[in-house]
Chains A and B, each alone.
Chain A
Amino acid sequence: MSEDGEQRNDIPEREGVSTGRRALMLGAVGASAIVSIRPALASTAVSIVHCQIPVPDAARASGWIAADGSVVPSGTAGAFAPPRQPLKGEAVKQALAGGQLPGVEYERSQAYMKYVRNLHSGTSGFTCFASLQMPRG
């Protein structure tokens, strides 16, 4: 232990807290102390070109969209036929902000939006979706 430290040990305990030793909180179990930076590429790149989200993606082309957003065989009861055109990025952005997709009824809009929210990286439309929900700047 350094000379400095020994001196400090001579100071009465109560005052020692206030004279130099820094206080440190370990934090709550559920809290988080690390943010790992992810590429913002998607957000800015897609704000530059207008993007669209095919529903469903080409790999599952022409499946239907169930109320929970999953892709199910066409004709499944209670599921919705996919939109004829890919969803426009701007329309999805408004729906994400609490609105509804234009030109479709409420339940259908909800199902499509659940599909969009479930998109994973590597699925077509994901880059577009990622860009819409990430605040920038």
Chain B
Amino acid sequence: MNVGANGWLLARILRSPADAAALDAAGWTALIAIARAEQMIGTLAWRLHGTAMPPAVARILADARALAEHGRTLALWEAEAARRVLAPLGVPVVLLKGTAFVAAGLMAGQGRSIGDLDILVPRGSLHVVERALLANGWEWVKPDAYDDAYYRRWMHELPPLIHRDRDRMIDVHHTILPLTARITPDAEGLLADAVPLRAEEKGALAMLSRTDVIVHAAAHLFADGDLAGGMRNLWDVHCLIEEFGVEGLVERAEHHGLGDAVGRALRLAAALYGDGATLSPGDRACLRRVTARDGWGRATHPWTRLAFYVRSHWLRMPPAMLARHLWTKWRKQAAA
């Protein structure tokens, strides 16, 4: 197969599972190591389910499916636990990211690894939500004055909370980008258009509309992040487009001020997992960063990674605030 052992190998097999037939033992070994490093082994396992492969690989992927299934159970239960606590408040609660995908039974959720529970609530309800969670077993992860004040003043979410018995984190968002970013999505619009997941149930959870969910995936990837986990996030985008289409997407993205991010996400997802796209030099740099893995699962291209890390901070904060943020961190270090 004419693909080196890097992220492109994983992308190629996800795009075209039949190509796996051409893999030799070394190819399978690299593919599995890369998929694990990108936290996509469950996705790969479902994508290849039923195709021909060596017995040793079949066992590894069967284990990965079982693990993803268990992860799905835990994610849905965490959402249900939060629902039981928040439903009496009468506050709308919208599931975000992986938990929303599995709750809605979307293709993007199949085999997906899910870490924290991410929810979106109205900004005005943050306080009651926080109080209810703290009264029902959730605790602050980091009791630190500076970070706390920073979160409350500038971030798009509460400082992370963790449940003391289940050891699972919850991120309570009130919008999808930090308040410091130069783009301000329409948070009220996100909530207003959200779709109930089980409409018949009182106090049911909801998920973002079919366009907003793609806008959020793109915002998360570019405007907020340093492209870490990019292969998985772009797979999300690819699956969401497959399932929901792109009708009205551009208009909705422009409405949130995220037209550029969504456009790039669509091009990158098409390049990795779809029929290809016409790429700009910036797109190519992103793809170089996203696929930077070797056959041992190691991160490669450290300078590209660093550049994207700096960029992520740049995007999140206006320059003066970035300087203040780095200055505070630096003073703490220098004082020691």
Contacts and interface: CB of A to CB of B under 8 A. Distances in A.
Interface string A40-67: 0000000000000000000111110000
Interface string A117-131: 010111100000000
Given A36-B165, A38-B167, A121-B162, A61 B332 contact: yes
B78 to A, nearest CB: 14
Given A38-B167, A60-B144, A71-B144, A120 B139 contact: yes
B141 interface: yes
Contacts of A102: none
Interface residues of B, number: 17
Interface in A85-119: 118
A73 interface: yes
Contact of A120 (B147, B162, B332): B162
A123 to B, nearest CB: 7
A73 B144 contact: no
Which interface class (under 10, 10 to 19, 20 to 34, 35 or more) fits A? Answer: 20 to 34
A78 B140 CA distance: 26
Contacts of A122: 141-142, 160, 162, 169
A81 B162 contact: no
B147 A62 contact: no
A62 B141 contact: no
Contacts of A70: 143
Contacts of B141: 120-123
A122 B328 CA distance: 23
B332 A123 contact: no
Interface in B95-140: 139-140
Interface in A9-44: 36, 38-39
Contacts of A82: 336
A120 B161 CA distance: 10
A39 B166 CA distance: 9
A82 B333 CA distance: 11
Contacts of A81: 336
B162 A74 contact: no
A84 to B, nearest CB: 9
A54 to B, nearest CB: 13
A2 B220 CA distance: 63
A81 B335 CA distance: 10
B336 A120 contact: no
A75 B335 contact: yes
A16 B212 CA distance: 67
Contacts of B162: 120-122
Nearest to A39: B167
Given A120-B142, A122-B162, A123-B141, A62 B333 contact: yes
A61 B139 CA distance: 22
A19 B59 CA distance: 55
Contacts of A118: 143
B333 A61 contact: yes
Given A121-B162, A122-B160, A122-B169, A62 B144 contact: no
Given A59-B142, A74-B335, A121 B167 contact: yes
A38 to B, nearest CB: 7
A71 B332 CA distance: 11
A73 B141 CA distance: 19
A62 B330 CA distance: 10
Given A36-B165, A121-B167, A122-B160, A62 B142 contact: no
Contacts of B332: 60-63, 73-74
Given A38-B165, A59-B147, 16 more contacts: A38-B167, A39-B167, A59-B144, A60-B142, A60-B144, A61-B333, A62-B332, A62-B333, A62-B335, A74-B336, A81-B336, A118-B143, A120-B141, A121-B167, A122-B141, A122-B169
Closest 3 CB pairs of A and B: A74-B335, A62-B336, A62-B333
27 contacts: A36-B165, A38-B165, A39-B167, A59-B142, A59-B144, A60-B144, A60-B147, A60-B332, A61-B332, A61-B333, A61-B336, A62-B332, A62-B333, A62-B336, A63-B144, A71-B144, A73-B335, A74-B335, A74-B336, A75-B335, A120-B140, A120-B162, A121-B162, A121-B167, A122-B162, A122-B169, A123-B141
